[in-house]
A = this chain, B = another copy of it.
Amino acid sequence: MPLEKICQEVERRQSEFVERLRDAVTIPSVSADKKHREDVFKMIDWAEKKLTALGVKCKQVENGTQKLLDGSTIRLPPVLFGTLGEDKNKKTLLVYGHLDVQPAQKSDGWNTEPFELTETDGKLFGRGSSDDKGPVIAWINAIEVLQALKVEIPVNIKFVLEGMEESGSEGLDEVLLKNKETFLHDVDATCISDNYWLGKNKPCLTYGLRGVCYYAIEVSSPKQDLHSGIYGGTLHEPLNSLIHVMSRLSDVNGKIKIEGLEKLVALLTDAEKELYKSIDFDLKEYSNDIGCKKLVSESPQDILMNRWRYPALSLHGIEGAFHSPGAKTVIPSKVIGKFSIRIVPNMEPDAVSKLVISHVEKEWAKLGSHCDMKVKALQGGQPWVADFNNNLYSAGARALEKVYGVKPDYTREGGSIPVTLTFQEMTKKPVMLLPIGACDDMAHSQNEKLDIKNYIKGTQVLAQFLLELSQL
């Protein structure tokens, strides 16, 4: 079967595939918000139905319960396992993806309703369009097209689709560990499509990710919010103490002030430095896309290294303080500061958390605040870096080159998909990231989108990639 026929068939069914994505985006499967937990379950059922229609044998694997910060306990969404083909003469590819999404509200600054897929200028706007419903559905589309064209897929395919990725993949590692000797035992390679190109025009294969450690600093004192006129000036105010301690995590340039953290970072070798020189990365376009006049460096290599191989600390916000428009004269009684650190080899989340917690406690002690303070690690995921000299990556590279007519870049990513490392460790086989989305897809942000071109060509790439795996 020549690629041309596959491409034609994918293009012929374009509007059907867009409708399929629209259907999925409608389900607000926000894993971080307990109000939407039922929607995550609904989204898992939705995917099971689609896979079953392709002949995939599905199983929803129970994932226990989650204890929330407010003390309540709710059920975790099951992990969806699927098996397509059990031919002992074929190799087995594992496909991972996630069906949950980041929170989104129109009032956050979206131009359209986040849970209604909206097509504008060849872009499909909607929460999850690119992260990660679009890529998961592209796998479904690709297999459907190969089946419709009666092309034999040269590998068995297994699926692991989860609903908690945007909340630290809670429970997934345990589920995988329990199934290491059964469901996972015959996996020969893993492919994940849950990241982005470095730019907007050239595809890439990704061999490294940063990990992430997420923290909450809770500061409290009076038993309830107070009127700042009546009480202001008589007590240590929790938000004041919190902001002081949050200001001591990193400086304005992003330099992390946590003692000992720098020593955990792998040293930059000359060979590694060399790798960065050949990468096609337009710094001007990068800063224009995000609307940032000035970056922390003017060297493309520095910026790539800061995204890929150095840690970064971001403050995300404060829970419990006044956050609406207008003026409210309140002394909030309990405030929770949230921040995270993207981690890189050789930083281990446990070691990082130990340093972070000790730093926060030391700074807290220096402050001398009368308020109560607790600092907690909410989630931690390890970084991942792989060797890309193997048949898995060359199959991916061939598929990309055939569809796009250009050799892909080999990239790393600043974002985190902790399960990548889990698959590598449990299967002892290579893992590859094959993104279909562009750098400006704005995952986690307002106006997340997937270009129709990327969705359609991505579907073609995944179909071709499955065929290239005959050489796995």
Contact = CB atoms under 8 A, between A and B. Distances in A.
Interface of A: 32-33, 68-70, 102-103, 108-109, 167-168, 196, 210, 212, 214, 216, 221-237, 239-241, 243-244, 246-247, 250-254, 286, 290-297, 303, 306-307, 310-333, 338, 340, 342, 367-370, 378-379, 413-416, 442-447
B326 A167 contact: yes
A229 B327 contact: no
B315 A243 contact: yes
Contact of A236 (B102, B253, B325): B253
A39 to B, nearest CB: 15
Contacts of A312: 228, 232-234
A224 B325 CA distance: 18
A319 B328 contact: no
A392 B173 CA distance: 74
Contact of A32 (B311, B327, B379, B447): B327
A235 B32 contact: no
Copies in the complex: 2
Given A252-B240, A312-B233, A415-B227, A338 B342 contact: no
A291 B103 contact: no
Contacts of A444: 225-228, 328-330
23 contacts: A33-B326, A68-B325, A102-B330, A103-B328, A109-B225, A210-B229, A224-B291, A225-B444, A227-B443, A228-B444, A233-B254, A237-B314, A240-B250, A240-B254, A252-B367, A294-B370, A316-B332, A317-B318, A317-B328, A319-B322, A319-B324, A321-B323, A330-B444
A319 B109 CA distance: 13
B241 A244 contact: no
B291 A223 contact: yes
Given A243-B247, A252-B241, A326-B33, A443 B230 contact: yes
Q: Is the interface of A mostly helix, strand, loop or mixed?
A: loop
Contacts of A254: 232-233, 236-237, 240
Given A233-B312, A329-B316, A243 B240 contact: no
Given A240-B254, A307-B234, A212 B229 contact: yes
Contacts of A340: 228, 327, 329
Contact of A317 (B103, B221, B247, B322): B322
A233, A251, A303 — most chain B CB neighbours (10 Å): A233
A229 B308 CA distance: 9
A314 B445 CA distance: 31
A320 B323 CA distance: 7
A342 B291 CA distance: 38
Contacts of A315: 237, 239-240, 243, 321
A69 B325 contact: yes
Nearest to A286: B234
| 4 tightest Cβ-Cβ pairs between the two chains A and B | A223-B291, A229-B415, A233-B312, A317-B322
Contact of A247 (B244, B316, B322): B244
A196 B227 CA distance: 12
A445 B303 CA distance: 46
B327 A323 contact: no
Contacts of A233: 254, 296, 306-307, 310-312, 342, 414
A243 B246 contact: yes
Contacts of A212: 229, 329
Contacts of A324: 32-33, 103, 319
B225 A446 contact: yes
A370 B253 CA distance: 9
A438 to B, nearest CB: 12
A282 to B, nearest CB: 14
A189 B367 CA distance: 49
Given A109-B225, A229-B416, A296-B234, A319 B325 contact: yes
Nearest to A336: B325
B168 A327 contact: yes
A291 B240 CA distance: 18
Nearest to A70: B325
B327 A379 contact: yes
Contacts of A102: 328, 330
A103 B332 CA distance: 13
A357 to B, nearest CB: 16
